[in-house]
Structure 1
């Protein structure tokens, strides 16, 4: 290692008290220049240019102002305003892929003001904001300079409308909720699921019923009963009570009864298929009243016939 040498006279006097040049320690190479600079500064050999102090103070104050603006959230608005006036204000927004998500929903989520600059838009934060909208499953955002913003939305796929209590929601195939249901003709053709647990298990049940074309076209609601089994509500108000096991066998039996007797077109309130060895039919109130009138009329006719036979004897 080489000894620290200098042609400057002041370094001839840098000797630690109680030491000699023979025992003088050599500074590491990285510390030599700072030590020389500080020694020359303290001895007055370095003179700063005029106004350096003023510039230094201004730089410190400017840095403090910028730091405070960033911390206070004001720096972004300054950049936004300046770059917008420089020609980078958003003048065109192109939205694609949206069916249930309106343009107003997008504008509100992204907080796009009149002077919003394309430069200051954070694509990642914008995607996260759009994904908070009920129907948005994903989004892609592209900035086309100087003034165009392209937004491509990927919406969630609606499977059914689910009713639990008084609440109506739109759900996906796995039962996850997309959002509240609003009267929309585009959603009116979706399967209507009713009851606790109907959303989670609805897909498999709906697909099973769909195998029976004549029946599937008449179903208006798929009703979950006690999270164990299902009922069907038909377009004429009839209820089909299905078993928790042997579902397809019960549906086969129902289609056979329809082919032979036209049971789905009768004045019936319900058809109970929960028992394997028998089918139970429940009459509507009108049918029950008609039946009672028929039974009563038949009994009166029989009584009258008996009286007439007795009078002839």
Structure 2
């Protein structure tokens, strides 16, 4: 620090009294070398080589070219091509853990249809690319030199098929959408949820119905009504209307009715369990017509009997 003060005083061409030393400002350490270099350059103590300017311009232009290539992607393509031709081209790909994600999906996500070099593949970027695929929840990438790529996929757990309007999607237990539903035998056994809010609230309801084995095996759809209540659609087309509270009690009542009267096997359009003190049965259209025909026939028979009885008197 004393040497710097001395040079600064000498550079200014004056000698200050000792009283002024306390007021001198010292440059930060990082700036001292540039200041000294600039002073020597201005004093002519540093001689710039004859071709330094040309070399500097060339370096600047070359740097700009490299930067532009990197930003434009050409640099990576060049590295990929050179290393691939040097024996590091991906020639063997091992994929595991995929059920709904096809090999073609993986190839497209990682651009493996092109000539790719194992050197240029970034495992982190590859994992992120695979996680953009609908079914992929996590992925592990391993490069086995010189030419093998190992991919281990962990797929999302499908819970149900959800219908809202005309759209069908596959969802997880928390209601998050995995992707669009395509006819697939592996998904046919999933619960079928219908209506707004059914995906987010379906897990608890499906688990509750599953406690009643005889009923659960007949359910074809879990239908969300409004924001609080559910209906069940059975395999014979019957609708079970359930209350928003006391759900398990209502299902137990339905089970008892089935055990005693076989109501789920009757020609009924709906069974309404929303009231605690009564159960309401709605007949199908055919059953209603049959009932009306029966009532009419019985009334006609009674009328005929009364007429015959009157004639005998």
Q: Which moved more, 1:136-145 or 1:65-74?
A: 65-74
Match of 2:180 in 1: 180
Q: Deviation per CA, 1:8-48: give whole Å up to 9, x if none.
A: xxxxxxx758569xx9xxx99975995897589x469x795
The aligned counterpart of 2:93 is 93
Give 1:126 shift. Answer: 1.2
- 1:194 Cα deviation after fit: 0.6
Distance 1:233 1:210 in 2: 14
Distance 1:16 1:305, change over 3 A: closer
Task: Give the direction of change, closer, same or farther, for the CA distance of 1:310–1:84 in structure 2 (3 Å limit).
Answer: same
Answering whether residue 212 of structure 2 is matched by residue 212 of structure 1, we say yes
| Residue 140 of structure 1 pairs with residue 143 of structure 2 | no
Identify which range, 259-268 or 120-129, moves more after superposition.
Answer: 120-129
The runs of 4+ residues in structure 1 deviating greater than 2 Å are 1-4, 15-20, 27-40, 50-65
The equivalent of 1:223 in structure 2 is 223
Q: TM-score, normalised by structure 2?
A: 0.85
- Matched residue, 1:302: 302
| Superposed CA RMSD | 2.8
| Offset from partner CA, 1:113-133 (integer Å, 9 cap, x none) | 431111111111111111111
Distance 1:248 1:35, change over 3 A: closer
Deviation per residue, 1:248-277 (Å, 9 max, x gap): 111111111111101111111111111111
Determine the C-alpha separation between the residues in 2 that align with 1:128 and 1:57: 40
**3-state DSSP class of the match of 1:152?**
strand
User: In structure 2, do the counterparts of structure 1 residues 113 and 62 end up closer, same or farther at CA, with 3 Å as the change threshold?
Assistant: farther
- Count of matched residue positions in the alignment of Structure 1 and Structure 2: 297
Deviations 1:38-62 (A, max 9, x none): 589x469x795x9777666554443
Following superposition, the deviation at residue 110 of structure 1 comes to 1.4
Distance 1:304 1:19, change over 3 A: closer
Q: Cα–Cα, structure 1 residues 297 and 37, in superposed 2: closer, same or farther, change >3 Å? A: same
Paired residues for 1:62-81 under 5 Å: 62-81=62-81
For structure 1, the residue ranges without an aligned partner over 5 or more in a row are 5-14
Q: SS where residue 274 of structure 2 aligns?
A: coil
Kindly provide the CA deviation profile for residues 68-120 of structure 1, in whole angstroms up to 9, marking residues without a partner as x: 21232211111111111111111111111111111111111112243111111
1:225–1:39 distance in 2 versus 1, CA, 3 Å: closer
Secondary structure at the counterpart of residue 150 of structure 1: strand
**Displacement of 1:63 after TM fit?**
2.8
CA–CA separation in structure 2 for the residues paired with 1:19 and 1:291: 123
Unaligned runs of 5+ in 2: 5-9, 19-25
- Cα deviation digits, residues 260-308 of structure 1 (max 9, x gap): 1011111111111111111111111111111111111111111111111
CA distance in 1, matches of 2:174, 2:167: 19
SS at match of 2:95: strand
CA distance in structure 2 between the partners assigned to 1:35 and 1:306 by the alignment = 131
TM-score by length of 1: 0.85
Residues 242, 3 of structure 1: CA spacing in aligned structure 2 closer, same or farther, 3 A cutoff?
closer
